[in-house]
Amino acid sequence: MQIIEMLAPAGTNCRSGRQRTGFRGITVHNTSNWSKGAGAINHANYLRGSGKNNYVSWHYVIDKDYAVRCIPENEVAWCAGDGNGDGNFKTINIEICDNSDGNIRKATDNAVELCAQILRRYGISNVSGHLFQHNNWTGKDCPYDIRRGNPYDWNTFVNKVQEKLGGKPSPSGPDQILTAGSKVRFNGVFKINEIIKPNKKYPNGAVGSYQTCYGAPCGTNDYIPCGPIGICDFNGNNVNYNGVAKVGGYWKCDKIFTVIGVELPTRYTKNGVAILEADGVRFRVDCGPLYEVSNS
């Protein structure tokens, strides 16, 4: 599969230039356009022609040969039908072509590959909670073909993406249960909501991210020591492990931690809490953003 760029013209209805406000994952669609010739490049050309006047767009349209980027990933594409909701504003939208003279199996396999590439870039190794059907946002019967098992069903699609990412496929299974000794890594890119400058306790400084602090402002022992983390951009790119943390910036972390202890879920910590250590400091993290990696 070749990824090519044929961007829609900026400043049009289909490409407003509004910035995405976060990243929850990828929303998958089928074009439901069975016309002959309605492949990826034709769809990209449509957004460069009359389609530019409509509030309908997609980041990628994909067929048996090409994944065509029509809207930059950091901008909003009007695809999920949920207005200012997370589908439009916090996911990357992919349209899979189902034109009658195409190859739906190859196009869908290409979409699997593209999803894995994007999630990997965002530091996500467990697809659970990061792949959405258009249907999840509005109830629309989309992705039409996948929802009918053509060429395979949604669970198979999700499992294929997980296989490409490595790790154990558990997209629809029960939540992981961490215990002392579990090996985990951070799953995703996190916004920096608070910082602590280097001091006696935190020799490299520390950051607070509400995603790792049960969605709430962080408290004592909830800050992440800066030693193992990398400062990056919103998309998880340009990682700098010696970068200086700033409020409003982003971080990710590839290090594998050993869980020292766990706290069971409470009203306020629905996912439970794991106790980890870095820079000689123990800290508490919401288990939600942690991904268990196998010991082998």
CB 114 → Zn ion: shortest distance, Å? Answer: 16
As a residue count, the chain comes to 296
Q: Among residues 29, 43, 130, 284, which is the contact residue for Zn ion, using CB under 5 A?
A: 29
- Residues 227/61, Cβ–Cβ less than 8 Å: no
In the complex with Zn ion, which residue's Cβ is closer, 87 or 188? 87
Q: Which of 224, 229, 223 is nearest to 244 (CA)?
A: 229
Angstrom distance (rounded) from CA 120 to CA 114: 10
Q: What is the CA radius of gyration of the chain?
A: 20
Task: Give Cα separations from 285 to 32, 186, 210 (angstroms).
Answer: 43, 10, 10
Q: Among residues 15, 20, 43, 134, which is the contact residue for Zn ion, using CB under 5 A?
A: 134
Phi-psi region of 91 (alpha: psi -120 to 50; beta: other; left: phi over 0): beta
Q: Which of 75, 76, 74, 146 is nearest to 112 (CA)?
A: 146
In the complex with Zn ion, which residue's Cβ is closer, 64 or 134? 134
CB 29 → Zn ion: shortest distance, Å? Answer: 3
CB 23 → Zn ion: shortest distance, Å? Answer: 19
Query: Taking contact as CB under 5 A, which single stretch among the options 64-72, 99-107, 108-116, 140-148 is the one that binds Zn ion?
Result: 140-148
Q: Among residues 26, 107, 115, 142, which is the contact residue for Zn ion, using CB under 5 A?
A: 142
Query: Taking contact as CB under 5 A, which single stretch among the options 23-31, 36-44, 59-67, 172-180 is the one that binds Zn ion?
Result: 23-31
CB 96 → Zn ion: shortest distance, Å? Answer: 10
Residues contacting 253, CB < 8 A, separation 6+: 123, 185, 186, 224, 228, 229, 230
64 counts as binding Zn ion under rule CB under 5 A:
no
CB 32 → Zn ion: shortest distance, Å? Answer: 8
Binding site for Zn ion (CB under 5 A): 29, 134, 142
